[in-house]
Chains A and B, each alone.
Chain A
Amino acid sequence: MVNYLIKRIIMLFPLLLGITLITFTVIHLAPGEPVEMQTAMSPKVSAASRARLREFYGLDKPLHVQYLRWLGHLAHLDFGRSFAPDNRPVTDKIVERIPITLKLNVIALILEFGLAIPIGILAAVHRDSLLDRGISVFVFVGFAVPTFWLALLCMYIFGVKYSLLPISGLHSLGYERLSAFGRFWDFTKHLILPISIATFGSLAGLSRYMRSTMLEVLSQDYITTARAKGLRERVVIYKHALKNALLPVITLLGFSLPGLIGGSVIFETIFAIPGMGQLFYQGVMARDYPLVMGILVIGACLTLVGNLLADVCYAVADPRIRHGRG
């Protein structure tokens, strides 16, 4: 197990390198030189500070040297300063935005798995029935409806028309004066809409996957044997089949993250949630290169960590990997 872990962690490094390389390439597709951007932003930037910037990005050097320099800064977790007029360190800007995006996505992820797995199993067990068809239409509608449209409709219905839920933001105005429970409830109410819409949209992938793995497991010989032995269907399904069907689902955990983070651009813009997605969108539109590069790298690294965790869980759960090829 320890060996496996060490191997996995060593494997992270080439991946990390690849992530930075792709980020660097993407940004250098854009026409124009980043420094020109920033100095143009403040017309009277002194020659000295311009030189400092060029130094930081090493812009007089060939591309590969620039890349290595940037990598050097990254190694110290230094993403440079934002090109926005506030000129704050990118790390600060990202760090203040990460918690809310992560919180939202983790809750959505838990809900997604908590709902999609039973739904998938249900569909598999009642394969080709009306229930199965109904479920597939339901989850695909969630996938197919443009999120911002659904979000606005829900905001209108629940927020304006029936005043049941707050429309946007994270806290009500008098938040500071509420009791601990009041605060929790206030925060929860603000999250209901964004999280339910995010979850609804993501059910399809996982539940269909769950359905097909379950079907696959159910067609295996040992299940047939179990049935032949006269075990009750319920026991067969929930005791024997489920355990094996759930295993591959674990690996999906890690891969769900990039989709959710990517989707956060829309959610955070429409629900006025100050997270990483919103920051990224602003950064991209303002051509704030250091910020964009920083978020791309961090976003990808989050996924990497997610994948690693998922794989480790998988290894723990599956003895073949633990002892075998690990």
Chain B
Amino acid sequence: MTLRRLFTLLLVALQLSACGQGASEQKPLSRPKGGAPAYGDALITGSIGEPNTLIPLLASDTSSHEVAGLVYNGLVRYDKNLKLEGDLARSWEVSRDGLTITFHLRPGVKWHDGKDFTSNDVLYTYRVTVDPKTPTAYSEDFKQVKKAEALDRYTFRVTYEKPFAPALASWGIAILPAHLLEGKDITKSPLARSPIGTGPYIFKEWVPGQKLSLEANPAYWEGRPYLDRFVYRIIPDNSTMYMELKAGGIDTMGLSPVQYQRQTNTPEFLARFNKYRYPASAYTYLGYNLRLPLFKDRRVRQAISHAINKEEIIQGVLLGMGQIAHGPYKPGTWAYKPQVADPEYDPAKAQQLLKEAGFVMGSDGILVKDGKPFSFTIMTNQGNDQRMKCAQIIQRRLKRVGIDVKIRVMEWASFLTNFIDKGKFEAVLLGWTIGQDPDLYDVWHSSKTEPKELNFIGFKNAEVDRLLIEGRGTFDQEKRKRCYWGIQDILAQEQPYTFLYVPDALPAVASRFQGIEPAPAGIMHNLIKWYVPKAEQKN
């Protein structure tokens, strides 16, 4: 899901979405069960938030993408081992110079309304994505395209200006039905509330505030999904959701670390549910607004990083189920540089750096510089318990070295529009998903600091800019690796973020569901192969 590497999943830890890398650690503990694959039953999942729109191009929230992901397909997708494979594209060729990709589309695929899927749909999707009137966060990758053409009904070709490494992966974007959208205003389309896609599940109904139901697509090109229905229930309170899981009202949810470790190890729970655990493809960070004089001083940022005990955060927030983040990549991937020299926990060093930066201890235990106390607000989003805990631990640690921290929690959409986009924040505690392609141009390049763009902390570093452009302008993995390792060294020095942790995803699924294959990609990758043996079917 390349889409998700962008704006989408800042909210990731809210429901640890099931994309991850590294094998599942805990083998399901349930009794081994037999039963042949059978059609029927429904998977009910719970969500805190209601989707905003089911046109994925316009969506920037997890819920929307979770549902839309089952209704639409891209041209390519990641398989369970996180290798790119064909989705709506049966195959593709990349020209020798890497500038042209020719996709051969799968013939015979039909939209849910019965119309044929053709290259015209792909062309339309491209056009609407780069149309400046379309309010989307996903246009950047497609602006690199020099020419897009539908050669015939089932052949689609794109040509790039210069080599662009994330090109192929970017075509994982959901393809929209041209016959329903072309010539219309996409922001006013009824598809936002009743989508028509090519995916394994057909949209059935959306009861506002209650649930969305999808039904198996009998004509799906990969074969009809076993599970008849997919129901997405909206349950705005976390505690309620967990009780629903235990009472059988929902079949799956992402557990919190406390639930995973302390509440669900009873034989009764383990008989009814399988638990999975694998590192999520996401990290949490404390980011500083570098436009503010306070955070312009690198020593101040380093000092804060020195004052924060990441071990303690992982213990307190994740009960140990996660790893320290040192940079923007996931440990174990090729782009990740082990052992970068980032600030370790050392409060004495922090105090010394702050002294060098001109702060002196005030009478009330708060550092002062030029008559102003060292005080700032950490903002984070509502509904994310882990971030809230994390902020409180940081608040406590920073108080020890004489920094006064306030915490402010805000609703997601208003947080983005009122504070992030306007640069009206001091520090934020947020998360990024880690995409499969290591290109981070959108987050770190100095040209991406305008309002609504992702480098909202205003990080500007000429060397990082150069490495980012070099890294995405070549297909040679060794060369790219050198670039990204270089970037990690600079980030470790500069500390524009204090990288905090990579949490583990901890989903639980009712044990009547069979065919789940934990893999580097998590568990949801083969949803259409999940089944419930006839004898155990419930719904």
Contact = CB atoms under 8 A, between A and B. Distances in A.
B209 A86 contact: no
A44 B236 contact: no
Contact of B237 (A86, A166, A269, A282): A269
Contacts of A166: 247, 249
Contact of A44 (B134, B210, B246, B247): B134
A270 to B, nearest CB: 5
Interface stretch (B227-235, B280-288, B509-517): B227-235
A87 B187 contact: yes
A40 B209 contact: no
B235 A272 contact: yes
Interface in A165-179: 166-171, 173-174
B235 A41 contact: no
A168 B52 contact: no
B414 interface: yes
A133 B316 CA distance: 47
Place the interface of chain A in its size category. Answer: 35 or more
Interface in A147-184: 152, 155-156, 159-160, 163, 166-171, 173-174
| Prevailing SS type, chain A contact patch | loop
A199 B202 CA distance: 41
Contact of B240 (A40, A271, A279): A271
B209 A279 contact: yes
A274 interface: yes
Contacts of B60: 85
A84 B413 contact: yes
A42 interface: yes
Nearest to A97: B209
B413 to A, nearest CB: 5
Contact of B243 (A167, A170, A282): A167
A286 B249 contact: no
A159 B58 contact: no
Given A85-B413, A167-B244, A269-B236, A43 B249 contact: no
B231 A278 contact: no
A85 B53 CA distance: 7
Contacts of B61: 85
A130 interface: no
A96 interface: yes
B234 to A, nearest CB: 7
A86 B210 contact: no
Most buried by B among A84, A167, A170: A167
A40 B422 CA distance: 9
Interface string B126-139: 00000011110000
Given A32-B418, A272-B240, 12 more contacts: A40-B418, A44-B133, A85-B59, A85-B60, A171-B210, A173-B539, A174-B539, A269-B237, A270-B237, A272-B233, A274-B234, A278-B209
20 contacts: A37-B414, A43-B135, A44-B133, A85-B52, A87-B187, A97-B208, A155-B243, A159-B243, A160-B246, A163-B247, A169-B233, A170-B210, A270-B237, A270-B239, A274-B207, A274-B208, A274-B234, A282-B411, A286-B412, A286-B414
Chain A to chain B: the 7 pairs with minimum beta-carbon distance, closest first = A274-B209, A285-B411, A42-B135, A85-B52, A43-B452, A40-B417, A287-B414
Interface of B: 42, 44, 52-53, 58-61, 132-135, 187, 192-193, 207-211, 231, 233-237, 239-240, 243-244, 246-247, 249, 382, 410-414, 417-418, 421-422, 451-452, 539
Interface of A: 32, 37, 40-46, 84-87, 93, 96-97, 152, 155-156, 159-160, 163, 166-171, 173-174, 269-275, 278-279, 282, 285-287
